[in-house]
Every structure is written in C-alpha cells, then in structure tokens.
Structure 1
Amino acid sequence: MVIAEEGFFMIRDLHNKGYNDSEISRMTGFNRRTVRKYLAADELPKKQRRTGKLSKLDPFKDYITERITAYPLTARRIHREIQERGYTGGYTILKDYIRTIRPQYITPAILRFETAPGKQMQVDWGECGSQEIDGRKRKIYAFSAVLGYSRMRYMEFTLSTDVYTLIQCHKNAFDYFGGIPEEILYDNIKTVIIKRAIRARDHTWNAKFEDFFTHHGFIPRVCKPYNPQTKGKVENSIKFMKKDFLLGTRFTSFPDMDQKLLQWCNRVNSEIHGSTHEIPYDRLKEETLTPLGLIKPYIIKPYIIRREEKRKILRDAYVSYNGTLYSVPYQYAGQKALLELEDTTITVKIGSEVICTHQVASPSTKKVRVKEHFTGLQKEARANNSRKTQFAQDARHSQPFFEIVYPDVEERPLSTYDVFAGEVGP
C-alpha cells in the first residue's frame, strides 16, 4: 500500500501524543509493521522498484523478433521452433507477446459457409517461387485440397499445373482422405472448365478432366467470377502452409520438399483446428466419403491417366522426359517418336510400332540406359568404318572421271623467235 506524505506525518504525530503501535494501527488503518517502519524512518521512504522475475520467454525474444520480422510466421510455428531451442514455457504467453510485435492488418468480415459431412472438397493451386531443378530453374506449385466439413488438408508440390498433373493430384488426395466427396469446388481454370454457361449442365468442360470426374462420379463446381470467398477454406489453407511451413525452411531437394510437406499435413491434421475447435482426423471419421473404387451401385477399376507427348529421338538414341534421358534402340536415332504415358509407364512409339517401354524414374535420375538397346552398335560402327576405309582406297586407284588433253605445239629453233622480236635481221 502506497503511503501518502500526510499519512507518514500523521503516524508520527500520534506516536508523539503517546499512542502505542497497536492503537495507531487501529486509528489509521495501517498495519503495525508499516507503522513501526515509518516511525523508525527519519524521512518518508521512497518506493522501491520491484525486480521482475525473469520470464521463460525472455531468452528467446530476440530470436522471435528476428523471425517475425523476416517472415510472417504463425505463433504455432514459432512455438515449435523455440521448443527445439529449449523453451519450456506455455503457448499462450508466446501468442500474447507475438501479438504485441506483429504488424496489425485489418481483415474485412466475411460470411463463412459450412458444409455437411462428405459434401464438398475445395481445390486450388498456389505458386511457391522457383528453384533450380535438374540444372534449370523451374517454377514450383502447391496443389491443395481441403474437405469442407472436417478441414482435413492434403497438399503436394508439383512442377506443372497441367490437366494430367491435376488428375494425379486428385488421385493422391482421394487416397490420403480414404474416399471421394460428393462435389469438388474449383476456380475457373482451363484444366477444369473451358467455357462457362448460365446453366451448369451447359458448361464446356476440359475433355480429359470430364472423363476423370465422370469416371469417379463426383460433381465439379466452379466459383462465381471474382468471388474467391466461395472457397475460402482452401485459400486460407495455402496461406497458412506458406507461413507455418514453407517460409524460412531449408530443403535438400525437390523430393525432400514433398516428403516434409506430407509430414506437415499429418501434423496439422492432428491438431485442433482454429475454426471447428476440433481435430480434423477426428472429424474425418464423420465424413461420408464414397469409398475408393466404388460408384454406386457399380464397382469399377481405378482411373488410369493416359497422356501423349511428341519427342525427337536424339542422335545418341535417347529421349528426354521430365529432365531424365531414356534410351531407345539405336536404329531409331534421329526419328520422331510419340511418348504414351500411363501412370508410371512410358511407351515409346514410332508410328504404330512400340519400340520400347520404361518405368518413370525418380526426379533425381539423370539417365536410364537399357544395355540391349545398343547391342550390335559397335559391330555396325566398325563395319561402317571399314566400308569408309575401303571406299577411300578404291578412290585412290580408280581411273579419273575426266582427262585433260593438251594440243600439239610445233617445235621451232630459238633463232626464229629472235627474228620476230626484231633483234636479228633476216
């Protein structure tokens, strides 16, 4: 309790009038210890500043400020990082501290639409910068899928956003979630829809993607133009991934990026979600997804992705695909070929003839060589060299193609030419 100056002098005055400590305490309301303290003092004691107890967070504040300044990381991300550095305090005190040092942004309020279990999945692409891969700079994209009810996330990095990659990412997401939702929501992208119409049944879909969603039986939905809030769940998921995982993280390779992203998905799907306040893995049990391979009431085979790409076979009898060289029989070097890609198999064709097949190699593989493709090449090369040598020898000993014939010239004594020169008289 802070003692005012008048209180100090009142205590001393009562003491001078003969009142004891207990009586002064009752009369002034101050406790006896305070009374004795101020009677013993020659002047009003100054307030002593308390020495604050060192917070468990204090040793990490410089690191936190540095990370928040460099990247807009989430409080959860910072919490994990400082725990790895020895922090043993709570999450709440960290979150409160970050709130005081993070720049504040005003976010407009939007109406959030909730979906029933098994009803909807939202899909989107996000750009994630670029890296040098296989000796050249490549853009990196993130495919993101979120189940509307459970908020289960699935993401993977890709080097393309073409329709074949989009379909493969869907297959991977269905495997991860363990089933297929009733409908999937998209942006107006050409790999999904070519032309919008007033009525959904009149939309012109991408033919290859239409074959895919017809095969699996889900309904594609596209957002209204300029209304990204319609699929805010997946938009927010990509932003969260960049802040909570991608920013400031180091990777050893592109496959390393994908592996760590999957680990991140597993972790966040095991934590309480900020909107539902429940764990996505727990809510996934309530999703009524269509089991893989089943389209009521028929059981069908898994969807096979087939794509075609044209290539010219190199002079050393290789074709290139995704940065990897694949050998072909040497007899076809220099010819134009068609690559037919089906899941993990590459079939190389010349016209209608299949000349070889390969299994798609890992991105780190530079060259796939089949020994049999070059059988007989050395023998043929030696034969070619022998033919060239023989031709050269034959050329040296053969008759020329034409002959130069010089005219006959009359021989005369030299004195005759002297006469024409005028030096000797006739």
Structure 2
Amino acid sequence: MVLDPHRWLELRRFRALYESGAMSQRQIAKETGLNRRTVAKYLSGEVPAAPPQRESGALPRQRAVDEVAPLIDAMLRSEILLKGAVIHERLAQEYGFAINYQRVKIYLQEARPRIAGELGINPGELAGLHRRFEVVPGAQAQVDWGDEGRILAHVGIPKVYSFHMTLSYSRDPFCCFTTSQDLATFFDCHRQAFAHFGGVPMSIVYDRTKTVVRRHVAPGEAVPLHPEAVAFAGHYDFDIDVLAAYHPQGKGRVERQVAIVRDHVLAGRAFSSTEELDAAFTAWVPVRRARVHGTHGEVIGLRAIRDHVALRPLPRAPYVVAQRHLRHVGKDCLVAFDANLYSVPARKVRPRQLVEVRVTKFQVILHSTVPDTTGGTLLAVHSRAVGRGARIVDERHWDGLPTGEGRRTTTGDDPRPRRGLALREEDGPLRALLSRAAAARVEVGRRPLSVYDELTGTRPFTTHPSAEEPC
C-alpha cells in the first residue's frame, strides 16, 4: 500500500525536530504512522526515491492530532487566518486537549490550504509570505518610532521615544531619542538623520502615522498627506512612500533595527538624559558597521559607502517645520500649549484674545492674528518646556500690571483709630475688647494658685506657693 503523499511530506518536516533533539524516532513513527525502521532509514540520510510504503497487513496508526482535527478544521472554516498559537490555546482551554503545539502547527500546514480550497480562497494568499525586495544604493530609507517607556523617569522625564531611519540597501542605521512625537520633532529627527548619512535618499517609507498622513482612508483610496510633510519632502527632494494598512513587513528593515538598538545600546544600562542616549548610539554605530549582515552577506560599513555616495545632496538651507495652533490668552497674560504656560506682553493683548502658537522642536513662538500699526505680529519667543506643568514667563511681559505692593496692611496694630470706634473711659472693658489694638493693651491679673486651693477646699498641687500663673 502506497503511503499518502501528505503523510510523506509530513515525514520530511520532522527532520529538523529530530536533529534538534525535540522528538525521537519512536515519537515520529507514532506521529506519522510509519514503521520505526522506515523513519530511522529516512532520518539517517538514506532517502528513498519513492514515498515509503506501510508494512503489508499493518493497520493505519492514528496520529495524536487526528483526534482534534475536526475541531481545528471547524476553527479554520470560521477564520481561515487564525494563528496556530491561538488554535493550540483554545484546544487546551475550551476543550481540554493537551496536545503538542508543533503537531498542531504541522497539521495546519496541510489543513489550511485544504480548507481554503473548500472555501474558494486562493491558498497562496494565506501563507503570510511576501516577496523579498532589494533596492539600488541611495534609493530608499525606512522610518519608524520606538517606545522606550520610562527609561528616564528617575530624572523627571516621563516618556522617551526613539526615532529610527535605516538605509534599505546597506541597512546602515540612524537613531536619536526624543521626549515627543509631534510634527516638529519628527521632521527635526529627519534633518539629523540626513546629516548623519551625508545626504537624502530618493524615497522614504512610512507607516500611516499622523505626522505624515492627514487622515485615514479605506484600502485602495489615495492617502491624503499632511501639508507640512509634503513641503518638507519637496524641500529635501524625496518621495513619500506610505505603506498599505496592516502591512508592517513593508518596512521590516527598520523595525528590526528598533529591536537591535534596544538590545545592543539600551539593555542593562542607565542614562540620565536624551543626550547620553544619543551618545551611546553614536558610540555603537562603528560596531554595527563592522558586522557582516546576515541577509546581504557584506560588511555593513563597506556597503554603506556605496549607499552614501548615491544619496542626493542636502539643500543649502534647512526646512524648519512648525506646528500651528490657535489659543486664547488668559487674564494672567499666559497662553496654554501642550500642558505648559507661556507669557505674552500685557500691553499688546487682551483677555480671551486669540493668538497663533507656532511650535518647533526647541521654541514656542507666539503671534497675534491681527497685525499691529507697524505690520508686525510677533508677540513672544520662548524656549520650549520639557515635560508638563511648566510656566515659562518673561517678567517684562507683566510691566504695568499691579504688583500688590501698594495694598494697605490688614494685620498687626493700626495706630490710627477707626471712625466710630474711639474709646472712652465710660465704655468699660467690654467695649475695649471690640478693638484689637485696645485688647492687646489689656493687662491680665496674676495671682498665686493657693488662692484657688482655698476657694475650693482642696490641697495645693504645688509645693511652691509663690508660683504665679495668669488667670
């Protein structure tokens, strides 16, 4: 009897498990239903020209996965792309089957295309595979963010992010660390990356981040780009390549680089500023460039030379990206932006007036929406605050406002008698208590404690009858 071709292919898949020691020949024979000698012959390297045959008269052996195969098929029919780990987890939790995950995984390699054929779906679209692409030097770079969490929380910086740009041809990396992911910071990191590489790639690949894409659209529709992103790309002469939704493998080079930097630069070290983080990456770059890359098989630094030479030149003047927002002026001449407060001149604004806030990575620039008599709109320029809850004030902006120094003192003795409260001798002590100044001058009688002992008929509490206490 000739063995089922699927079972023969399954036997070939067990070679890696056997060579790694994960399964023995007896376990493989039990799993595949083949004779152990046949399995041993194949695993020893003596591969027969035709699929092995089951011994004559031998009954088909049931695999451990055959018992749960109908359940797996039912799960695939409901969701053909259901992951093997999820199926294995549900078999254990919902049905109580303690089956080896590798057996489920191997069964899925046969079952998924079969179920897909039953459902009329092209099996080639289900494997999660993608075409590996290579580019010429200088043709492409990929960009991504990394969330480094509370790595600087001990110095009062609650969140740190890592910006990554990787040249696709050589895998030459760039990374810098920031405390924000806003528009100005995002493109300032681009300028640093271009300076690091010595030029600009012909195109840059992004996912659908809000600093590049103005809004999300349905698959297949044209993606509306952020105006500042379009202006920045036009100034530096590169094309914006936005990936399709849920397609992260399109920028796998930079996503892999995020994990590499995290392992080789950050792991097991302590830092006190983003400058120290940047310095640590800069020190590690020569080590990375000296390695042979596992995919293209060349030294990264040597391949990067060809990449850098092919980059487009940098423009003479940098393009400074600024966020623009409208905010109201408070009664205290402060404008709120990003949970921080910035002052404006009191003589040039009024309460609740709208002003324009232009924000770069390092500065907050405040402009009036209406030009003054000279045609100018600039109100103030401040250094951008780090973190939240800060108040950035130029004291000159409050010139002319009341300081409170001329207020009358409301505490202490007032030598001038108030109107209607002049004291007379016949007013008596009760009237005197109505005046704080007069009450402060009331003399308190003092008598020995023995007087109270005599009045109450009790023994004295002290052996010093001369002691006096105020009554």
TM-score (normalised: structure 2): 0.49
| Alignment partners' CA distance in 2, 1:317 and 1:257 | 37
Aligned partner of residue 404 in structure 2, secondary structure: helix
Unmatched segments (≥5 aa) in structure 2: 1-105, 107-127, 371-376, 411-417, 421-471
Alignment map for 1:20-419 (pairs within 5 Å): 112-130=132-150, 138-193=158-213, 194-195=215-216, 202-287=222-307, 288-293=310-315, 301-311=317-327, 317-319=333-335, 326-329=342-345, 335=352, 337-342=355-360, 344-352=362-370, 353-360=377-384, 368-377=392-401, 381-383=404-406, 385=407
- Judged with a 3 Å threshold, the aligned counterparts in structure 2 of structure 1 residues 397 and 350 are, in CA distance, closer, same or farther, namely farther
User: How far did residue 197 of structure 1 move?
Assistant: 7.7
For residue 302 of structure 2, what is the amino acid of its counterpart?
D
Aligned partner of residue 211 in structure 1, secondary structure: helix
| Alignment partners' CA distance in 2, 1:189 and 1:364 | 23
Structure label with greater radius of gyration: 1
- Judged with a 3 Å threshold, the aligned counterparts in structure 2 of structure 1 residues 199 and 257 are, in CA distance, closer, same or farther, namely same
| Alignment partners' CA distance in 2, 1:351 and 1:335 | 13
| Alignment partners' CA distance in 2, 1:363 and 1:191 | 20
- Judged with a 3 Å threshold, the aligned counterparts in structure 2 of structure 1 residues 364 and 278 are, in CA distance, closer, same or farther, namely farther
Aligned partner of residue 204 in structure 1, secondary structure: coil
Aligned counterpart, 1:37: none
Is this contact kept in 1: 2:142–2:204, CA < 8 A?
yes
| Alignment partners' CA distance in 1, 2:217 and 2:138 | 26
| Alignment partners' CA distance in 1, 2:185 and 2:201 | 20
TM-score (normalised: structure 1): 0.54
User: How far did residue 233 of structure 1 move?
Assistant: 0.9
Aligned partner of residue 286 in structure 1, secondary structure: helix
Aligned counterpart, 1:92: none
Cα RMSD after superposing both structures: 4.3
| Alignment partners' CA distance in 1, 2:245 and 2:381 | 44
Unmatched segments (≥5 aa) in structure 1: 1-105, 294-299, 389-395, 399-426
Listed one character per residue, the Cα deviations across residues 10-62 of structure 1 (whole Å, up to 9, x for unaligned) are xxxxxxxxxxxxxxxxxxxxxxxxxxxxxxxxxxxxxxxxxxxxxxxxxxxxx
Structure with bigger strand share is: 1
User: How far did residue 169 of structure 1 move?
Assistant: 1.8
Listed one character per residue, the Cα deviations across residues 221-241 of structure 1 (whole Å, up to 9, x for unaligned) are 122343322221111111112
User: How far did residue 376 of structure 1 move?
Assistant: 4.5
- Judged with a 3 Å threshold, the aligned counterparts in structure 2 of structure 1 residues 278 and 308 are, in CA distance, closer, same or farther, namely same
State, as a whole percentage, how many aligned pairs show the same letter.
Answer: 29
| Alignment partners' CA distance in 2, 1:358 and 1:142 | 25
For residue 177 of structure 2, what is the amino acid of its counterpart?
F
Listed one character per residue, the Cα deviations across residues 231-254 of structure 1 (whole Å, up to 9, x for unaligned) are 211111111122222233211234
| Alignment partners' CA distance in 1, 2:399 and 2:181 | 39
- Judged with a 3 Å threshold, the aligned counterparts in structure 2 of structure 1 residues 156 and 323 are, in CA distance, closer, same or farther, namely farther
User: How far did residue 366 of structure 1 move?
Assistant: 5.9
Aligned counterpart, 1:83: none
Listed one character per residue, the Cα deviations across residues 96-143 of structure 1 (whole Å, up to 9, x for unaligned) are xxxxxxxxxx9x987532211011101112222235659977443222
